[in-house]
Structure 1
Amino acid sequence: MNRRPDPRQTAARPELAPRVRRFSAAERWAHRATAVLMGVCVVTAAFLYLPALAELIGRRALVVTVHQWAGIALPVPVLAALGSRALRADLTLLNRFGPHDRRWLRAALHRDKRRSSRPAHKFNAGQKIYAAWAAGATLVMLGTGLMMWFTHLTPLTWRTGATFVHDWLALTLGVVLAGHIGMAMGDPEARRGMRTGSVAREWAEREHPLWLRERKSSR
């Protein structure tokens, strides 16, 4: 006989609360691999551009090589995971922007923290904008990085522009990533969902009510 978990137990141990499946194994591994590669790119970039850090390593050629190959490999985890139906479905959701997303953005801009003012499907409007920006920034970084790497393929003026864009976009990307990590650190259940694949039903009802409602109606 199945018994409902004691609310006092679930408050102390959130993993005991009723769970809802959110991410597949392929999605979680793609996220982890991408995070590792992005971390390598950011750390090696810091050692390349900050003299105080560069002096600690000294082997600049090695750092450049690691940075280059980590950047080349950055799109690979997502491309490899495209065989997952769940990932393709989530990419479709991330690419859709509906009336509820505009409402979510208006509430965020006006600092309205009421949950009723911020309706969200599986991904809220902020997550959709971040995903689109990160994907675009990654492609630009990859393109400009290749132009800087293979110097014989493009004229000097192109490489100069590519270097400027690459450096400043890298700085912007670092700031945005810090914000992304900060948001994740402030939401343990969201991190648990990415780590285990499931989230507490209560969290889903609070943060992504439209998604949970659609799941219930599709059954």
Structure 2
Amino acid sequence: MHRATAVLMGVCVLTAACLYVPQLAQLVGRRALVVTVHQWSGLALPVPVLAGLVSRAFRADLGRLNRFGPHDATWLRAALRRDKRPSSRPAGKFNAGQKVYAAWIAGATLVMLGTGLMMWFTHLTPLVWRTSATFVHDWLALTVGIVLAGHIGMALADPEARRGMRTGSVDRDWAEREHPLWRP
């Protein structure tokens, strides 16, 4: 699910860049095709998550992502102080930063989907709504791009977490150090 979502989000970001950066638009050309690919990949973006709901393990992970405990407040305070000691950042399977990111990107995806549909089906809404949708869509897209760059940067800095995403398992020492409250 993560890979499928990443591919679709990557296509959305790259096609959006080709639609808004003149130098990229000139390199790619075929604007109508880029628009079509952008629209359909955006429309398909929720599909991997919806398909994942059939998995008991995925639903359990969603439950973990959706619950904040006292240890998450401690983790966030340590992060704001830039305290990198693992002992100051207690976490279960997901740390508070991952929970905040997951909630934010899920909400942003839904807003992007809604504003994108308003822009795509122009005859369904008044001009002022479409203009507002375009404004929100464009600025949120820029924000999503920046946040995704941070997400990718953090992933690149943690090879064990990437291995866990690929294989479904992580080194016990890493899990005990980075996620001491995790009880698989």
Per the normalisation by structure 1, the TM-score is: 0.83
Matches within 5 A, 1:71-110: 71-110=42-81
Q: 1:118 aligns with which of 82, 89, 94?
A: 89
Q: Which amino acid aligns with 1:32?
A: R
Q: What corresponds to 1:154 in structure 2? A: 125
Partner of 2:175: 204
How many positions carry a matched residue from both structures? 184
How many percent identity over aligned positions?
83
- Residues of 1 paired with 2:27 and 2:128: CA distance? 33
Q: Spell out the pairing of 1:174-189 with structure 2 (5 A cutoff).
A: 174-189=145-160
**Could you list the runs of 5+ residues in structure 2 that have no partner in the other structure?**
none
Structure of greater Rg: 1
After TM superposition, give the deviation of residue 113 of structure 1 in Å: 1.5
Report the TM-score when normalising by structure 2.
Answer: 0.99
| Residue in structure 1 matched with residue 104 of structure 2 by the alignment | 133
Task: Flag structure 1 segments of 5+ consecutive residues without an equivalent.
Answer: 1-29
Partner of 1:68: 39
SS in 2 for 1:56: helix
Higher relative contact order, chain-length normalized (CA < 8 Å, sep 6+): 1
Structure 1 ranges of 4+ moved more than 4 A: none
Mapped to 1, the partners of 2:85 and 2:25 lie a distance apart of 47
- Alignment-derived partner of residue 9 in structure 2: 38
